[in-house]
Amino acid sequence: MFSSSAFRLALIQLQVSSIKSDNLTRACGLVRKAAAQGAKIVSLPECFNSPYGTNYFPEYAEKIPGESTQKLSEVAKECSIYLIGGSIPEEDSGKLYNTCAVFGPDGTLLVKHRKLHLFDIDVPGKITFQESKTLSPGDSFSTFETPYCRVGLGICYDIRFAELAQVYAQRGCQLLVYPGAFNLTTGPAHWELLQRGRAVDNQVYVATASPARDDKASYVAWGHSTIVNPWGEVLAQAGTEETIVCSDIDLKKVSEIRQQIPIFSQKRSDLYAVEAKKP
């Protein structure tokens, strides 16, 4: 496996409709476009094949492997890229999950991340949402290897839990990718802040892929897919429309910053620790 310290990352901010086949066709078209722009790792947004909402999850849910992941596998292989399949509603043994499937350049399924933290929130007068009405939580960490670096995965609400990112950093991840769909309440308040926080805390690159905004949808996504470097700088950010966000990722930046501010060797492990309870 060749190793390189730099590569191009692309995020696809897809306009999601209620027609699954259209979503899949457009997603694959944009993946091809991103690959043609030199992207080696491409991510789709959370819930890219279905509208986002507890009433939609059962209707749109699929097995993995299934129709949607088959398409992702094919386009990853055709373009010879690492494809982070945003997320889809997954059905398995009578349960539903919010799941991200990742495919390698030969079309193999590398890892399947089931959203660990279900989005059950209530901000009075603003937004109430309960994923746990229909979804079950995943229970495993998800990382995968590329020739460039190890990548850690979370989905949307997972980004609020700093410990998950810390475990990924402990496991050698230099890029964390969170397909996510924050809303018009939490988006302006916390979307960029959380990404920059996770990036600075762990001295890693952080990327978030959101659906494009659809003001007519029952759940309106914030958009603003973003790529942040380990210094906490925003390298690239989308607006609200359907688009591809690209940035070159230079992993030398990770080691430079870790040398300049050596937080990993300076942690007081005699006083505290974040530990993984599962492999």
Q: Which two tokens stand for residue 148?
A: 């460039």
How buried is 74 (Cβ within 10 angstroms: 0-12 exposed, 13-18 middle, 19+ buried)? middle
Write out the H or E segment, with its range, that includes residue 201: helix 192-202
Q: Give me the helices (H) in 9-149, please.
A: 20-36, 57-60, 67-79
- Residues 24-28: contacts with CB under 8 Å, at least 24 apart: 24/49, 24/67, 24/68, 24/71, 27/71, 27/86, 28/71, 28/72, 28/74, 28/75
Residue type, 186: T
Write the CB contacts of 76 (distance below 8 Å, at least 6 apart in sequence): 31, 82, 83, 103, 104, 105, 107
As given in the structure block, the two tokens for residue 177 are 């990718």
As beta bridge partners, residue 6 has 250
Residue 234, burial from CB neighbour count under 10 angstroms (0-12, 13-18, 19+): middle
Q: What is the C-alpha separation between 27 and 10, in angstroms, rounded?
A: 13
Q: Which residue numbers are catalytic?
A: 46, 115, 156
- Name the β-bridge partners of 97: 90
Which of 121, 129, 122, 127 minimizes the C-alpha distance to 54? 129
